[in-house]
Structure 1
Amino acid sequence: MLKIENSLLVLLIISTLLGITYPIRLEHPLLFIIAEVVSVISTLWIIRLYFFVSRPLKELGNAINLLSNNDFQSRLLPTPHPVVNKLVVVFNKMINQLHKERVEQREQSYFLEHLLKATPHGIVVLDYDQKVIQTNPTILHILELKFNALKNKRFIDIEHPLISEINQLALNQVKDIQLSGGRRYRCQKSSFIFQGFQQQFIIVQDLYLDDIKKEKQAYSKVIRMMSHEVNNSVGAMNSYLDTLKLFSPADEELKTDYLEALSIVKDRNSAMAEFMKNFASVVKIPEPNLENVNLIKILQDLLEIYHSDFKNNHIQVLDKFPKELAVIADKSLLEQLFINIFKNAKEALLEVDQTDRTLEISFNEETKKLVIWNSGPKISKETEEKLFTPFYSSKPTGQGIGLMICRDILLKHKWDFRLFSGKKEGVTFEISF
């Protein structure tokens, strides 16, 4: 546009001078020559002004394009105009600073993203409407959910026992939350300002493995010491008892009572040794020898073993699992795991009427969870929180060892699990692969 206007101005000046001097060119030739020289000089001057102005304006246009396109890589070229050249220098400095800040922001963003992925704590970031906008893999593992199931959903509307407890936290409050299966989490809700709005983020620390480690350090040494002392004492006492049998009374009636009493004491010693052996087994679970095994085959074999026992106790077994399910696990440890689960289920079912004893085993293909449900008495919320606690049992004669063994086997396989009573009657043991 400037070029056209400049050309029209040149034509206007030349036309005007020619129009005025052309009619008198013969009478006043000198004046005509002067007019022509002036027109040439004016044309050259206007052309010079055009180049003097057009280039700075072009650079200013480039500056506008760079800013509108968020281009922080290119720079403006120096111009012959001193004032515009100062503007170019300032603009280039501003672009350099913006580029530097942009790179730093991007690096910080990458660092924060990798930090969120690497941190062992679960993190959820909410927008000002309390909708989930960012999570890390740890919290998805804790919640056993996928990001698509959380994205753009209000945190308060997500159904999960841990989230329900977190929603009750006040801002900047730290609280330890315990769920079924002995799971304990340290949760904190905080906030930050982003683009002028307050946004919240939640940090969830899984204390479960730390708790188990501390528990084992506390009881394993005591159990080993007790087992050692009891076994030594039992061995010595049984030896003395066998020796005492040699000095039995001559009287037959007294001899019978005497030997029976020694037998009772020896049986009691053996029972005490077996009792300590059960405690010692908790700290002797080996590391799993992982291999590809068919989980369904293991379940079917164990159900076959328990078939007569279940039938005699009027327990109906419903198997709703697929024909085959391959998992990477230790076969012997899995057998021990399900033996304890079936044993606990049977004991629970014996507490209800014979007509209502059902054991159901199913596998959810979508969530990859094995569900073992029995129609026994429901577990109270207080009991549910104490399950898998060392040596805790809700049964009067229980030792609290079976569930500890189940817990340790599942943890060694790095599988999540829950034992709870939900909306459905009875008790559910849920294992997530």
Structure 2
Amino acid sequence: MRLKSLFGILAFLLLSILALLTYVAVHSAPWLFYTLEGLIALTFVFLLFFYRKIVKPLHTIGSGMELLREQDFSSRLSPVGQAEADRVVNVFNRMMEQLKNERLRLREQNHFLDLLINASPMGVVITTLDEEVSQLNPMAINMMGVKLEDALGKKLPEIDSALAIELATIPRGGSITIRLNDSSIYKCTRSSFIDRGFQHPFFLVERLTEEVIKAEKKAYEKVIRMIAHEVNNTTAGITSILDTVEQTLCEEGNRDELCEVIRVCTDRCFSMSRFITRFADVVKIPDPHLSLVDLNELALSCKRFMEGMCADRNIMIRLEGEKLPEVKLDASLFEQVLVNIIKNAAESIDHNGEITIRTLYPTTIEVVDNGRGISKESEPKLFSPFFSTKPNGQGIGLIFIREILSRHGCTFSLRTYSDGLTRFRIIFPIASV
């Protein structure tokens, strides 16, 4: 029972006793009656004083406890005129002011952190204690290539993203550099922060693609130019001398066998020169001259061009998909990209297979083949300079493709999926449409 109720019962009992005594006194001496009336008035005054000094302060403090329970830090208690109670009220009001300021500071700080995370050039992935994704900033969504609603509430390995799968393998407190099958390179760090006494894991993802590719390109351009210069100068001198020697020997007669050997050496020099020239062509890719191009017609043209090669290998090549809007691209450069992709697909199949060129809305084109596929170990290295899965490959075809697609602002990926099909997918930026 509340103290206020107890006080009411006490007042009622006292007044009832005094009323009873007054009734008795009426039937006895008058002086006793007046004495009891005065005592009743004095009791009433004392009860009011007792209520103001004891019960009301306690009721006010109880109201303060309700404010705390409701977390209403903007309300304040009024002084009650009782020294001890007013000290409690003053302490309570100062505490409420501090709590209000602390809450405001935390809200402002959290708002600032939200703005900072959303504007960060680094990807931020925050997970719950059950390792389910609870928050993704815009950059992380862009890096993963998924929609926010498709990632929230899921564990990282369950998300359809190569980056998310790689993030799940990072140990606590670990930091690794990841290279994906779309030539993207990321530095990923796993850490944690304390919230309400519990550690919440989070991931920081920093894009290193541009810096690494620039460094790689600068390195291999210098090496290729130096090798091309030395080889071409050397082979030019050698072929000139061999031509002179061949002409001299042929004039002498009976030197057919030796002349044939010299011609083989000359052809080999030309072959080496062409081999080096192919490397040099990678660093001489011209800037794209953009114009509006029908992607479906371009795909159809490349299909027809490659049909002869595919027919020789008993490979069926098909074109399917949706009608796409025109895209800004360099038609001649992009034709070379598409032809190279189809050629790689045919070589992966070798004989007896199928290649599908598919266009997807809004602006996506992919080449699908049922060849031998790409191993998980090879996927991260596909777009590395001079790496090739072919026995006699030079490792420059995908570098050439990467360079042209990057200059067009495309995103792309090459991987073998769980259905056994290998897909080279190219997505054009919206601005190109």
TM-score (norm 2): 0.76
For residues 154 and 318 of structure 1, the distance between their equivalents in structure 2, rounded to whole angstroms, comes to: 38
Judging changes above 3 Å, is the alpha-carbon distance between structure 1 residues 261 and 60 closer, same or farther for their aligned structure 2 residues? same
* 1:431 is aligned to 2:429: no
* 1:360 is aligned to 2:345: no
Give the gaps of 5 or more residues in structure 1: none
Within the candidate set 402, 405, 408, 1:410 is matched to: 405
Summarize deviations over 1:299-331 as a string: whole Å, max 9, x none.
223324444554465432222311224556555
Summarize deviations over 1:310-365 as a string: whole Å, max 9, x none.
4465432222311224556555543343232233334444x22xxx2321123456
Q: 1:130-149 maps to which residues of 2 (within 5 A)?
A: 130-149=131-150
Judging changes above 3 Å, is the alpha-carbon distance between structure 1 residues 427 and 46 closer, same or farther for their aligned structure 2 residues? closer
Q: 1:22-41 maps to which residues of 2 (within 5 A)?
A: 22-24=26-28, 28=30, 31-41=32-42
Task: Tell me the SS of whatever aligns to 2:379.
Answer: helix
Does 224-233 or 66-75 show the bigger shift?
Answer: 224-233
Summarize deviations over 1:29-81 as a string: whole Å, max 9, x none.
x5544544443344344334434445424432431232122112222222211
* Pairwise CA distance, 1:193: 4.0
Does 32-41 or 222-231 show the bigger shift?
Answer: 222-231
Q: 1:60-209 maps to which residues of 2 (within 5 A)?
A: 60-158=61-159, 160-209=161-210
Count of residues in Structure 1 that have an aligned counterpart in Structure 2? 420
For residues 385 and 300 of structure 1, the distance between their equivalents in structure 2, rounded to whole angstroms, comes to: 31
Does 228-237 or 383-392 show the bigger shift?
Answer: 228-237
For residues 140 and 214 of structure 2, the distance between their equivalents in structure 1, rounded to whole angstroms, comes to: 21
CA contact (8 A) 1:296 1:325 kept: no
For residues 21 and 286 of structure 2, the distance between their equivalents in structure 1, rounded to whole angstroms, comes to: 109
RMSD of aligned Cα (Å): 4.4
Does 119-128 or 76-85 show the bigger shift?
Answer: 119-128
For residues 405 and 109 of structure 1, the distance between their equivalents in structure 2, rounded to whole angstroms, comes to: 46
Does 98-107 or 279-288 show the bigger shift?
Answer: 279-288
CA contact (8 A) 2:146 2:161 kept: no
For residues 233 and 98 of structure 1, the distance between their equivalents in structure 2, rounded to whole angstroms, comes to: 82
CA contact (8 A) 2:170 2:190 kept: yes
Letter aligned with residue 61 of structure 2: L
CA contact (8 A) 1:320 1:362 kept: yes
Equivalent position of 2:318 in the other structure:
318
Summarize deviations over 1:115-163 as a string: whole Å, max 9, x none.
3323333333232222222233333333322333332233455565444
CA contact (8 A) 1:13 1:39 kept: no
Letter aligned with residue 88 of structure 1: V
Q: 1:250-399 maps to which residues of 2 (within 5 A)?
A: 278-285=278-285, 293-311=293-311, 314-325=314-325, 327=327, 329=329, 331-349=331-349, 351-352=350-351, 356-363=352-359, 370-395=365-390, 397-399=392-394
Judging changes above 3 Å, is the alpha-carbon distance between structure 1 residues 294 and 84 closer, same or farther for their aligned structure 2 residues? farther
* 1:19 is aligned to 2:37: no
Within the candidate set 3, 8, 16, 1:5 is matched to: 8
Letter aligned with residue 423 of structure 1: S
Give the gaps of 5 or more residues in structure 2: 429-433
For residues 52 and 332 of structure 1, the distance between their equivalents in structure 2, rounded to whole angstroms, comes to: 95
Equivalent position of 2:431 in the other structure:
none
Judging changes above 3 Å, is the alpha-carbon distance between structure 1 residues 312 and 196 closer, same or farther for their aligned structure 2 residues? same
For residues 286 and 377 of structure 1, the distance between their equivalents in structure 2, rounded to whole angstroms, comes to: 33
For residues 407 and 307 of structure 2, the distance between their equivalents in structure 1, rounded to whole angstroms, comes to: 29
Give the share of equivalent positions with the same residue, in percent. Answer: 34
For residues 420 and 331 of structure 2, the distance between their equivalents in structure 1, rounded to whole angstroms, comes to: 31
CA contact (8 A) 2:15 2:40 kept: no
Letter aligned with residue 341 of structure 1: I
Letter aligned with residue 356 of structure 2: E
For residues 415 and 291 of structure 1, the distance between their equivalents in structure 2, rounded to whole angstroms, comes to: 15
CA contact (8 A) 1:279 1:401 kept: yes
TM-score (norm 1): 0.76
